[in-house]
Amino acid sequence: MTTCMKRRAFLSAVGGAGAAAMLRSVRPGFAQPLPPADFGLEAAGKIKPRPSISIAASPLSIGFETLDRKMFEPEKTYPHLAELGVKWARCQTGWARTERTRGEYDFAWLDEVVDSLRRIGIQPWFNLGYGNQLYTPDAPHESAVGWAPIFTPEARAAWLAYVRKIAEHFAGRVAHWEIWNEPNITNFWQPQKPRADDYVEMVRITAPEIRARVPKAVIIGGAFAGVPKDYLRQCLALGMGDYVDKISYHPYRAVPEANYEADVSALRDAIAAHKPSLGLWQGENGCPSQKGGSGALADLDWNEARQAKWLLRRILNDLRLGIELTSYFHTVDLINYVWSSGQSGKTNFKGILRGNTYERKPSYYAYQSLCALFDAETHPTEMLMTFSGLPPAGGETPDKPSGLAAMMSAAFLRNDIPLFAYWRPLDLMKDTEPVQIEITLGGTARLRTPVLADPLTGQVYRIRQAEEKGDLWTLRGVPATDYPLLISDAALFAA
């Protein structure tokens, strides 16, 4: 059985003049999705992509971070993002890039980003940071990544002046504001050690400045590295809930499902004890497409197919658990990634576009498939989905990660049509062949012609052995893989 969670309504991202031209500018041939898998089933169509501007609202976001450090060229990404189907983009604002002379603010570079995203139907949400060498002079890099400007009166006053200026400037275009990034780890909380009381103090002085200038501002607190339950409890006990509307977190892990449901439950319990109305956002999470770069998970044996599978598992698991917004990090590989200590000399390979060529990776097409189907018209629900014929753990397939079920599943309704997702939560560093299983589905009144859809490749298949008895369907000879497959009615993919 799947868990039924209530998802809050999302504001639709705005479109406008120039979107059609942006879409027409996409050149064909920018790398292709992975070829269809050999499931032994007859092809029955494709998942049809939907441009972002055609989607009214959605919980799906893309990372557009590191703008403050100039590690990618935003203008090269817009044609791809226009066709992706996401409705949100997390943008780091870059105080140091905006105020280069004391008291003088130049937002032209950020205006271009915000307006370009909005033109193609994507709403930016701001991550507000970082430091500024004018006021945090010990920062080794000009972007002052991670240097918190609250430890001297001068830095604090300058930070609040910047907050007032950026809030006034973008008040009509950006409503969602996240305060700082990963304050619970040393890399992003310099020059002192991370302390919950220091971060809550930053939130306490910053949030009112935004609210005074941005009508109906939505303030996001946390942006926590990982899922630091004790740190969150400390922040809430210190009153952070009085200043924010959402809590965000960054649950990097090689197996997306490992301990995740328990972690989310713990976050919700902590929130419920202080301010139950706080929403929960998965604000930044991704994995590399090759080994040996910079950033989280870089030392594992990734490739582009494994990255795409990981993306599907992360996003669908968040949707299964009713997370309000889920964001994939990042739009494009980040070359010569900049930390708080400066340039790393390495590439962060988490992008859905390749860093040198801006070509689409398989992960781009995988996310595009999800965006087409899991907008605000698709809601988690409870319906029966059981499995038989799975190999035993430790048999001819790799062991499942400790503590996980043999199969993950989720049920949704899309315009009252059932939409099921299922996958084996196996270690992606061990390639696993599909196995054939039997699936029983219940509560499927609108299911007339069951089909199988593969979001990794976009291919839709006919299911040969499908039998309906009463309100149950039995599907035999269907594949189970280490990434999500979808079952729905043929009508859903003909629309």
For the cut 60, the answer to whether the pLDDT of residue 341 exceeds it is yes
End of a domain among 373, 404, 423? 373
At 19 the pLDDT is 39
User: Does 338 share its domain with 465?
Assistant: no
End of a domain among 318, 345, 373? 373
Strand ranges for 66-199 from DSSP E: 88-92, 123-128, 176-179
The CA distance from 120 to 117, in Å, is: 5
What is the side-by-side strand order in the sheet with 435-442? 385-388, 435-442, 472-480, 465-469
- Is 11 part of a structural domain of the chain? no
494 pLDDT band, cuts 50/70/90, is: confident
The CA distance from 323 to 119, in Å, is: 27
400 pLDDT band, cuts 50/70/90, is: low
For the cut 80, the answer to whether the pLDDT of residue 152 exceeds it is yes
Q: Is 427 left (phi over 0), alpha (psi -120 to 50) or beta?
A: beta
Least confident among 30-44, 201-215, 405-419, 447-461: 30-44
Share of the chain above pLDDT 90, in %: 87
Average pLDDT over residues 429-453: 93
The CA distance from 82 to 261, in Å, is: 32
Least confident among 18-27, 75-84, 196-205, 360-369: 18-27
The CA distance from 397 to 292, in Å, is: 27
136, 142, 148, 154 alpha-carbon torsion, rounded to 10°: 30
Task: Identify whether the C-beta of residue 111 lies closer than 8 Å to the C-beta of residue 144.
Answer: no
User: Does 403 share its domain with 368?
Assistant: no
Average pLDDT over residues 335-355: 93
User: Does 190 share its domain with 61?
Assistant: yes
At 270 the pLDDT is 98
User: Does 368 share its domain with 490?
Assistant: no
In the chain, the number of structural domains is 2
For the cut 50, the answer to whether the pLDDT of residue 110 exceeds it is yes
For the cut 70, the answer to whether the pLDDT of residue 446 exceeds it is yes
Q: What count of Cα atoms within 13 Å lies in the side-chain half-sphere of residue 324?
A: 17
Task: Find the CATH number of the domain harbouring 214.
Answer: 3.20.20.80
pLDDT tens-place string over residues 224-249: 999 999 999 999 999 999 999 999 99
Whether the CA torsion 254, 259, 263, 264 is positive or negative: it is positive
Strands 123-128 and 88-92: parallel
The CA distance from 80 to 484, in Å, is: 23
User: Does 216 share its domain with 102?
Assistant: yes
User: Does 186 share its domain with 274?
Assistant: yes
The CA distance from 256 to 427, in Å, is: 10
22 pLDDT band, cuts 50/70/90, is: very low
Average pLDDT over residues 119-146: 97
- Is 3 part of a structural domain of the chain? no
Question: What's the 3-state SS for 355-422?
Answer: CCCCCECHHHHHHHHHHHHCCCCEEEECCCEEEECCCCCCCCCCCCCCCCCCCEEEEEEECCEEEEEE
Task: Find the CATH number of the domain harbouring 467.
Answer: 2.60.40.1180
- Is 222 part of a structural domain of the chain? yes
Q: Report the predicted TM-score, pTM, of the whole model to 2 decimal places.
A: 0.93
- Is 6 part of a structural domain of the chain? no
Which is nearest to 47 in space by CA: 239, 303, 224, 312? 312
Residue whose token pair is 């299964």:
320
At 30 the pLDDT is 59
- C-alpha distances (whole Å) from 252 to each of 115, 195, 277, 314, 466 are 30, 21, 25, 10, 38
At 7 the pLDDT is 37
Helices 260-272/229-237 angle, 10° precision: 10
- Is 165 part of a structural domain of the chain? yes
User: Does 391 share its domain with 469?
Assistant: yes
Question: What's the 3-state SS for 180-221?
Answer: CCCCCCHHHCECCCCCHHHHHHHHHHHHHHHHCCCCCCEEEE
Average pLDDT taken over every residue of the chain: 92
At 32 the pLDDT is 76
* Cis peptide bond prior to 330, omega within 30° of 0: yes
At 6 the pLDDT is 34
- Is 92 part of a structural domain of the chain? yes
For the cut 60, the answer to whether the pLDDT of residue 318 exceeds it is yes
Average pLDDT over residues 392-404: 52
User: Does 336 share its domain with 450?
Assistant: no
Share of the chain above pLDDT 70, in %: 91
pLDDT tens-place string over residues 259-317: 999 999 999 999 999 999 999 999 999 999 999 999 999 999 999 999 999 999 999 99
User: Does 422 share its domain with 291?
Assistant: no
User: Does 312 share its domain with 385?
Assistant: no
- Is 105 part of a structural domain of the chain? yes
The CA distance from 74 to 60, in Å, is: 19
For the cut 80, the answer to whether the pLDDT of residue 398 exceeds it is no
User: Does 297 share its domain with 390?
Assistant: no
Helices 362-373/304-320 angle, 10° precision: 20
Q: How buried is residue 72: exposed, middle or buried, by Cβ count under 10 Å (0-12/13-18/19+)? A: buried
How is the chain split among helix, strand and coil, in percent rounded to 5?
25, 25, 50
pLDDT tens-place string over residues 455-466: 999 999 999 999
End of a domain among 373, 393, 412? 373
At 397 the pLDDT is 42
Q: Give me the DSSP letters along 1-18.
A: -PPP-PPPP-PPPPB-TT
For the cut 50, the answer to whether the pLDDT of residue 395 exceeds it is no
At 393 the pLDDT is 56
Supply 48's token pair: 């049809």
- Is 100 part of a structural domain of the chain? yes
Average pLDDT over residues 409-421: 96
At 14 the pLDDT is 35
Average pLDDT over residues 469-477: 94
Range of the domain at 151: 19-373
The CA distance from 151 to 146, in Å, is: 13
User: Does 100 share its domain with 227?
Assistant: yes
For the cut 80, the answer to whether the pLDDT of residue 185 exceeds it is yes
The CA distance from 394 to 401, in Å, is: 11
